[in-house]
Amino acid sequence: MSRAPENTTNRNRWAVTLLVVAVLASLLPIAKFASPQAVAAGNAQVAGLPIRAAFYYPWYPEAEHWSTRYTPVLGKYRSSDPAVLATHVAEARYAGLDAFVSSYWGKDSKTAERLPLLLAAARDQGFHVAAYYEPESRATAPTPATLRADFDSLAALSSDPAWLRVGGKPVLFVYNTRGEASCAGIRRILTAAADRFYLNAKVFRGYRRCSSQPDSWHQYGPAAAYDQQHAFSATVSPGFDKFDESQPRLSRDLTRFQSDLARQVASGARWQLVTSFNEWGEGSAVEPAVEWQSGNGMGAYLTAMRDAYVGRPEPSPTVSSPGPTASASASPTVTATASPTVTATASPTVTATASPTVTAPPPTSSPTASGTSPSAQRITKALTIVVENHSLTQMQRGMPYTYALAEQYGYASNWLAIRHPSLPNYLALAGGSTAGVTDDAPPPAHPVAGRSVFGAALAAGRTAKAYQEGMSSNCQTSSSGRYAPKHNPWAYYVEERSACQALDVPAGSTLSGALHDDIVGGGLPTVGELTPDLCNDAHDCSLGTADAWLQGWLSQIFAGADWRSGRLAVIITADEDDGSHGNNVLTVVMHPSQDHRVVTAPLNHYSWTRLMTELVKAPCLEQGCVAASMSDAFGLPL
């Protein structure tokens, strides 16, 4: 059996956190979580096991020794920073985790204060959270009254849609040590819980012989590389190197960690745990650190977890010999994190790939190999094109023209859509919020208050226009032919109806119509959106059809005055994936400032919302205020 963790005093006490991540079915083919729609509706439920999770710590900067041994890529962050929490959730999703359980030291503690922030970050990305109740490890256990008060507080929080549930009950881990590591202690905990929680308690000698049993058991012992408690849990640790001890109790060994992950996956244990995500004072973190950076920016340990849990390593950026032309790629700039932006040097394997000829002309002023040309024009216009229901890997394989452009200019390999189905993602892009929408109903069913990026542009004295293929009348709110209003977010904003009526227009064709005329005349708007119809967006037709449609329009755009001036950025993204790839979609950024750039920093649709408001110098919108910066990640000159 693993050695139980040593308790420390006050700030440096063992705090164990498990941020529960509702990763989509493709990232975790065994663990089945509720859909994001169900999460939003407040009835989140785990349908199957195992669940993979990592212990998480929301106690910085109070823990002074958190980076004594190692240096997090994010630096000495604050656990109350929404951008940090959003980054951690995205990194956990990348690693293939289902869950984080957050350290909780009582209803009046800093950890309690920050738990709602964690829930918000998880809710925003379709994840779940549970708590790890730790006061049971104190020398003097909480009184029955304190225990009940803490559990009442947790029960109130557990009504949040992002709280993880198993069998209909909110999950609560308990770190019961000292006198509470006993059958009597378990009975006391169960009595206070009053059947309100799915309880997962820490093991102790003889725990299986107790007459009162919680729902499950786990071990927390990071000095052991691998621990298994029958079918209840299997736990791995990357290392244990405590800040106040001269020698590590468990030295880091990536090869051993990879082997232990494989053993864990093969175990079939219902809870498959990692100790820990970010316990820096004890040196057990898997969060990206300067000491274990990797070419993809996510760090060696998260990458190892992804390989073990997902089984499909992230595609590596392909590069050839450096040079200024499209056929000779420079080493991509790999951004490791979103806030603050940290650039990690990447050394990807040099390979040769067959790519279709890209007809996009090189920028008038050639960018440097770093992708940040001093002569690149400042971006004053952006045209965004949204395709449908395909993941990063599907678009890489099925859209050779588009992906060749991605490699020539820049793309994000860790971009996550927000929800399923389509409409919430379009609303997230347009206004920085899903507005509580969980279906694809047309505008009359979902009048959205507030401002969109189009309205923000107009209010700031800039221009905005949306081009809808297949739409028969301006700002159309009903379906017709291959036009779907669920893909036209501006039509939902009731306070911008008059602007939508004037500026949300049928796109026309590459030969004539509103978009053709604006391209030819150099009149594209500051904030522009082009929406293909249900065939050309790959919703009802193939990716090849969408790729050919994009080539037709982009060839015209690249010949237009706005592109040739260097002031226009063209962005391509997908609203969501097909439900089996973790909602990881390809997002391409084309502008003279981009040259073979691969951004691995966690970004999402709210990052686009933030970029649009930054472009027009308008106040941020909703989740766009805390989203990772797209302009920083891509180095965009605004």
For residue 326, pLDDT beyond 70: no
Residue 138 has a pLDDT of: 86
Binned at pLDDT 50, 70 and 90, residue 126 comes out as confident
For residue 43, pLDDT beyond 70: no
For residue 333, pLDDT beyond 70: no
What is the 3-class SS of 500-513, one letter each residue? HHHHEEECCCCCCC
Mean pLDDT over 208-231 rounds to 93
CATH no., domain 372-634: 3.40.720.10
**Parts of the chain belonging to CATH 3.20.20.80:** 10-309
Of residues 385 and 335, more confidence is placed in 385
Q: What is the pLDDT of residues 153-180, one digit of tens each?
A: 999 999 998 898 888 899 999 999 887 8
- The topology under which CATH files domain 10-309 is TIM Barrel (3.20.20)
Binned at pLDDT 50, 70 and 90, residue 296 comes out as confident
Reported in sequence order, the residue ranges of 567-620 that DSSP labels E, i.e. its strands, are: 568-574, 584-590, 597-599, 603-604
User: What's the rounded Cα separation, in Å, for the pair 67 and 338?
Assistant: 19
CB 299, CB 73: distance < 8 Å: yes
For residue 405, pLDDT beyond 90: yes
Q: What is the pLDDT of residues 83-108, one digit of tens each?
A: 999 999 989 988 988 889 899 999 99
Q: How far is CA 85 from CA 274, 338, 516, in A?
A: 18, 11, 43
pTM given for the model: 0.47
Residue 231 has a pLDDT of: 87
For residue 305, pLDDT beyond 60: yes
DSSP per residue, 452-489: -HHHHHHHTT--EEEEETT-SSTT--S-BTTB-GGG-G
**Parts of the chain belonging to CATH 3.40.720.10:** 372-634
Residue 460 has a pLDDT of: 95
Reported in sequence order, the residue ranges of 203-351 that DSSP labels E, i.e. its strands, are: 216-218, 226-229, 233-236, 271-274, 334-337, 342-344
Residues, the chain: 638
Mean pLDDT over 205-220 rounds to 93
Q: How far is CA 61 from CA 15, 33, 65, 69, 555, in A?
A: 14, 32, 9, 16, 51
Q: How far is CA 10 from CA 126, 127, 524, in A?
A: 33, 30, 59
541: phi then psi, degrees, rounded to nearest 5: -120, 180
- Neighbour count for residue 108 (Cβ, 10 Å): 10
For tokens 């040079």, the residue is 323
Residue 310 has a pLDDT of: 84
- pLDDT above 70 coverage of the chain, percent: 82
For residue 224, pLDDT beyond 50: yes
User: What's the rounded Cα separation, in Å, for the pair 288 and 276?
Assistant: 12
Reported in sequence order, the residue ranges of 499-562 that DSSP labels E, i.e. its strands, are: 504-506, 527-531
Binned at pLDDT 50, 70 and 90, residue 67 comes out as low
Q: What is the pLDDT of residues 584-622, one digit of tens each?
A: 999 999 999 998 999 999 999 999 999 999 999 999 999
For residue 471, pLDDT beyond 70: yes
Q: Are strands 198-202 and 169-174 parallel, antiparallel or unpaired?
A: parallel
For tokens 């509103």, the residue is 514
Query: Considering only CA atoms, which of 607, 621, 584, 596 is closest in space to residue 496?
Result: 621
Q: What is the mean pLDDT of the chain?
A: 83
Binned at pLDDT 50, 70 and 90, residue 41 comes out as very low
Q: What is the pLDDT of residues 489-541, one digit of tens each?
A: 999 999 999 999 999 999 999 888 999 999 998 999 999 999 999 999 999 99
Binned at pLDDT 50, 70 and 90, residue 297 comes out as confident
Structure tokens at 186: 């378990």
Structure tokens at 302: 């998260």
Residue 376 has a pLDDT of: 58
User: What's the rounded Cα separation, in Å, for the pair 242 and 66?
Assistant: 10
Residue 39 has a pLDDT of: 34
For residue 425, pLDDT beyond 90: yes
CB 345, CB 392: distance < 8 Å: no
Residue 268 has a pLDDT of: 84
For residue 5, pLDDT beyond 80: no
